[in-house]
Amino acid sequence: MRRTSVLVVAVLALSACSSPPESAAPEVATLVSPSAAAPSSAASPQSQRPRERLDTTSDEYLAMLAPYNKCMAEHGGVSKSDLAKGAVAKPASEQQQAKFDEANRICEPQYFPLPPWEKDPANPDAKDFARDVVKCLKGKGVKYVEVSDDGISIALGGDDNDPKSISLGMDLIPGCERSTAAQHKK
């Protein structure tokens, strides 16, 4: 019993060392620029990562990526945002790839945004969510749609890559995800 209480006191003392000053704004589930709520380096990596929502806009997502991109730059790697923009014109050399991999190994678990909880592999209900989204899409007329092999992603178009199913599915997925999420919360 004494050992447990000593351990609890030690954990509380360590967490007090890494807590923000009293003048800092409290962290609540609001849309705050990740740079404004920069986590301390002593906090656990899981607690630092922002989480996307089903309705996250591209601007909000880019704001969530800011700490990750900063970390990548600090560690000499190219960010995934720069790669997506085509900032790197030629294929990376082995040395550049190794530098990226090392920087990403450090930065991704701390800062790269987590997927929406409904699509997170850590969520035991994520597969049910995906199946219900597919059911919604089929109910709205998407002919070729199924849950991907990973059990969480949605595959559109079938083997023939049916353009109508792909186009209609892309338009309807956000609404089906929101309605499915609302049903799962009941």
Which one, of 128, 148, 115, 177, lies nearest residue 157 by Cα?
A: 148
Instruction: Tell me, yes or no, whether 99 and 147 share the same domain.
Output: no
Is 35 inside any structural domain? no
174's tokens: 């956000």
Structure confidence by residue, pLDDT tens digits, 29-38: 444 433 334 4
Reply yes or no on whether the pLDDT at 106 is more than 80.
yes
pLDDT at 185: 82
pLDDT at 116: 95
Is 2 inside any structural domain? no
Instruction: Tell me, yes or no, whether 53 and 110 share the same domain.
Output: yes
pLDDT at 160: 82
Is 177 inside any structural domain? yes
Between 18 and 70, the higher pLDDT residue: 70
pLDDT at 38: 40
Q: From CA 112, how far away is CA 96, in angstroms rounded?
A: 20
Is 19 inside any structural domain? no
Domain with 94 in it: 43-114
Q: Which residues contact 124 (CB under 8 A, 6 or more apart)?
A: none
Residue showing tokens 């559109």: 156
Is 14 inside any structural domain? no
Structure confidence by residue, pLDDT tens digits, 48-99: 799 999 999 999 999 999 999 999 999 988 776 666 666 555 677 888 889 9
Which one, of 113, 119, 122, 116, lies nearest residue 132 by Cα?
A: 119
What is the number of other CB atoms lying within 10 angstroms of the CB of residue 65?
Answer: 20
Q: Which residues contact 141 (CB under 8 A, 6 or more apart)?
A: 168
Residue showing tokens 């969520």: 123
Is 157 inside any structural domain? yes
Is 172 inside any structural domain? yes
What value does the mean pLDDT of the chain take? Answer: 77
Number of domain units in the chain:
2
Please say which residue of 114, 143, 172 terminates a domain. Answer: 114
Is 22 inside any structural domain? no
pLDDT at 91: 75
